[in-house]
Amino acid sequence: MTHLKHFFAAMSDSGRPFSISKRKKKLALVAFASLLLVAAVIGVVAGVNSRKEISGSEALKASTSHAIIKSSCSSTFYPDLCFSAIASLPEVSKKVRSKKDVIVASLNLTTTAVEHNYFTVKKLLKRKGLSEREKTALHDCLDMIDETLDELHKAEDDLNEYPNKKSLSQHADDLKTLMSAAITNQESCLDGFSHDEDKKIREVLLAGEKHVEKMCSNALAMIKNMTDTDIANEAKLTGRMLKEETLASGDGWPAWLSAGDRRLLQSSSVKADAVVAADGSGNYKTVAAAVAAAPEKSSKRFVIRIKAGVYRENVEVPKKKTNIMFVGDGRKNTIITGSRNVKDGSTTFHSATVAAVGQGFLARDITFENTAGPEKHQAVALRVGADLSAFYQCDMIAYQDTLYVHSNRQFYINCFIAGTVDFIFGNAAAVLQDCDIHARKPGSGQKNMVTAQGRTDRNQNTGIVIQKCRIDATSDLKPVKSSFPTYLGRPWKEYSRTVVMQSAIGDVINPAGWHEWNGNFALNTLEYREYSNSGAGAGTAQRVKWKGYKVITSESEALQYTPSRFIAGASWLSSTTFPFSLEL
């Protein structure tokens, strides 16, 4: 429009009288200028309308995105947090076009929040006057923040491939496992500050850790909603329910494996990549040194042979050390032992004699022990956070908190676990099959609790399943069992889930079966189940009457707790080379 204004100004400012010919020319120029003006006005109006159309289109896209976000967030426990966080993202209309996009956006926001917590912990570590336990607990938090970031990145990678790379059920189980573990990490970080002298540090961390936990909970809920819907739709399309993969024959081995190969795998003559011997006859004198020498992020199994002997050390298999296998010379001969405990200043998490975190960890024919004793309170023999981990013919021996099934999918076959208070605890998806589980004589005034399961979110695919096991008392408890009541478990967290099925339960178990944690806490929300058990302690007539407790009478209901369904066992147990049974 500016150049037209100059044009009309030049015409009116000439100051000379018009001649007819000039007038005609002038009229012609005026007519031409008018045409230009009309064209310009039309162009401006068109431009304005175009911008309105673009703006309207963007508004429609934004409105559509917000509707998708709102719909996705409606399935979560914290919908307002879910919607406000994702809807405020820049260019949300371009980023969110589907439920999957909403979940990816949620994971990205959660990652940012976790990184913020990392810097909070690092800052706290610089404080003067921290106790050794506070320092240890903060370092535990850093480890769990690192693991959480890995889990969030893996979940995003899996979502980017969803639903094409794997079966829908495997995608669903993997994603739920990752998010369940991420939630557990936030809880475990805060649990490290459970003593009165640690409360101030806990308060500084509380808001940030709980925020991340809520964000993870929202992502988990949306994942469950999306995958449940897709699996149901696929079932409708095919006209049948999806069947679980079945890889095993009746004796628990993959059907395609020959009898000769089965005998070979069952033998202890597994080829070793490293040999540990305390007398110097191997490659390494300590188990920790052999682990340190193992390759990182390997897809190939790295076998560490641990010769007969007592190894007094604390060993960690970190997350970067994947697919490591410990092979001992028999559980009575190869013993890894330690005595870290909470009373002497450790955290429960850090007290473990052996901690296995790297994915695909396996162990056979070994004893894991913590000798701290009942008076030292929490003292873990074995902590496991390794996904797809398995243990065969191993002993876990301690008192309080013997076996810490911390997170991810785990399987135990033909093992012996002994302890006192909460001696199998944590928030993994763990199945213990054909194991001997024995309560020991505890400290004065203590009660024995076989389990203390830690599920905090009802969407978590976690729990402790005890199948085809034998629950009894050790020789030191049997003569005095009336003085030390023993129970199948108590609810450590709000949605605690424990299932005891097809097991022989000795008379060491109190007729009530289960015990409160603190008053009425979690009694309505827990999920405690018993199915087809036998023995003097298996009677259910006098069991607790809690809303969350149930005796299963249906085989189809019990099937959901089998290795096939509960830990997606058909997809990975055969690779362990250990025996297993997938079903009831």
Q: Which positions are catalytic? A: 401, 422
Give yes or no for a contact between 330 and 172, defined as CB atoms under 8 angstroms apart: no
d(CA 548, CA 496): 9
Q: Inter-axis angle of helices 199-238 and 79-87, to 10 degrees?
A: 90
Q: Is 57 helix (H, G, I), strand (E, B) or coil?
A: helix
Residue 133 corresponds to which tokens in the numbers above?
A: 């336990």
Residue 412, phi then psi, degrees to nearest 5:
-125, 125
Q: Inter-axis angle of helices 20-73 and 79-87, to 10 degrees?
A: 150
Instruction: Tell how far CA 84 is from the center of its chain.
Output: 25
Please return the burial class of 550, using the count of CB atoms within 10 Å of its CB with bins 0-12, 13-18 and 19+: middle
d(CA 260, CA 541): 47
d(CA 232, CA 275): 50
For 490-510, give the DSSP string. --SSTT-EEEEES-EE-TTB-
Beta bridge mates, 505: 471
d(CA 528, CA 546): 9
Cα distances (angstroms) measured from residue 502 to each of 283, 410, 415, 563: 44, 19, 16, 13
Cis peptide before 579 (omega within 30 of 0): no
Long-range contact set of residues 165-174: C-beta below 8 Å, sequence gap at least 24: 167/242, 168/227, 168/230, 168/231, 168/234, 168/242, 169/231, 169/242, 169/244, 169/568, 170/568, 170/571, 171/227, 172/223, 172/224, 172/227, 172/228, 172/231, 173/461, 173/568, 174/568
User: What are the counts of helices (DSSP H) followed by strands (DSSP E) for the chain?
Assistant: 12, 27
φ/ψ region of 522 (left if φ > 0, alpha if ψ in -120 to 50, else beta) reads left
Nearest to 432 by CA among 533, 489, 502: 502
Nearest to 354 by CA among 309, 402, 302, 390: 402
Give yes or no for a contact between 222 and 101, defined as CB atoms under 8 angstroms apart: no
d(CA 205, CA 217): 18
d(CA 284, CA 304): 10
Instruction: Tell how far CA 563 is from the center of its chain.
Output: 17
